[in-house]
Amino acid sequence: MQININRLDLFLGICGIMLRNRWVWFLYGIGTLILFAISSFGSDEAPNMARYFMLFASCALAAGVFLIIVLILQGILAVIVVGHQPGILGEHEYLIEEEGLRERTSANDTLHRWPSISYVSTGNVRSYIGTGGAGAHIIPARCFSSYDEPMQFDVVKAEWQEKKRV
């Protein structure tokens, strides 16, 4: 399969990967609770459930806006820093082999063995193949010729799940 990754794909892929990270949501919850604690315990008003609910909702909204700003800045920074490295942007070729998933670019030829693949995720907008740590291959939906073609990654997923156990 041949795909072409541009800067927008990299940006949206990184934001998508970060939104799938449990730590991002954990920190969002902690941030919301800290904002709630700071805002509610310094008030002289009588405790009221409606007031606490509205205060908590506004703290969750503020933490969400902060999270979105951080994700956008991180995505922009990653595109600037990582986007200049050879083999990140441009043409990629993926081949399913017996040993694993092979990725070829103008800069490298890498074989990701099945046990080293951490996850395979298919979606309507983009698919991800996790290669350990925070690394992942991003495959945009526009690279597929039909709506059903991303489901071929179910073959990759099944192969990965079978070979990972070995």
In a 3-state reduction of DSSP, which class is residue 2? strand
- Does the structure show a pLDDT above 80 at 65? yes
Asked if residue 1 belongs to a domain, the reply is: no
Tracing tokens 């071929």 back to the chain, one arrives at 152
Are 73 and 52 within 8 A, CB to CB? Answer: no
| 76-85, 130-139, 140-149: which is most confident | 76-85
Residues 17 and 44 in one domain: yes
Answer yes or no: do 17 and 43 share one domain: yes
- Position 125 in a domain: yes
What are the pLDDT digits (tens) for 3-62? 888 888 888 888 888 887 788 888 888 888 888 888 777 666 666 777 788 888 888 888
Distance of CA 53 to the CA centre of its chain: 31
Interval 116-138 mean pLDDT: 78
Q: Which domain holds residue 24?
A: 6-82
What pLDDT, on the 0 to 100 scale, is given for residue 149?
62
Residue 53 falls inside a structural domain: yes
Final residue of a domain: which of 60, 82, 104?
Answer: 82
d(CA 103, CA 117): 13
- Give, in order, the Cα–Cα distances in Å from 63 to each of 54, 68, 93: 14, 9, 39
On whether residue 134 sits in a domain, the answer given is yes
State yes or no: pLDDT of 141 exceeds 80: no
Of 46-60, 61-75, 87-101, 149-163, least confident by mean pLDDT is: 149-163
Kindly state whether residues 47 and 97 are assigned to the same domain.
no
Please identify, among 82, 102, 124, the residue that sits at the C-terminal boundary of a domain. Answer: 82
Same domain, 12 and 77: yes
- The answer on 110 and 72 residing in a single domain is no
Q: How many domains does the chain divide into?
A: 2
**Token pair listed for 52:** 């606490």
pLDDT at 13: 85
Domain end position, chosen among 30, 53, 82: 82
Cβ within 8 Å of residue 129, ≥6 positions away: 101, 112, 117, 119, 120, 121, 136, 137, 139, 153, 156
pLDDT confidence of residue 156: 67
For the chain, what percent of residues have pLDDT higher than 90?
A: 4
pLDDT of residue 69: 92
Q: Which two tokens stand for residue 158?
A: 């099944």
Beta-sheet pairing, 90-96 with 100-104: antiparallel
Does residue 152 or residue 56 have the better pLDDT? 56
Q: What is the pLDDT of residue 84?
A: 83
DSSP helix/strand/coil, 13: helix
Residues 73 and 114 in one domain: no
Whether 107 and 74 share a structural domain: no
Instruction: Indicate whether 99 and 130 sit together in one domain.
Output: yes
30 lies in some domain: yes
pLDDT at 73: 92
Per the CB < 8 A criterion, the answer to whether 22 and 10 are in contact is no
The whole-angstrom separation of Cα 134 and Cα 14 is: 10
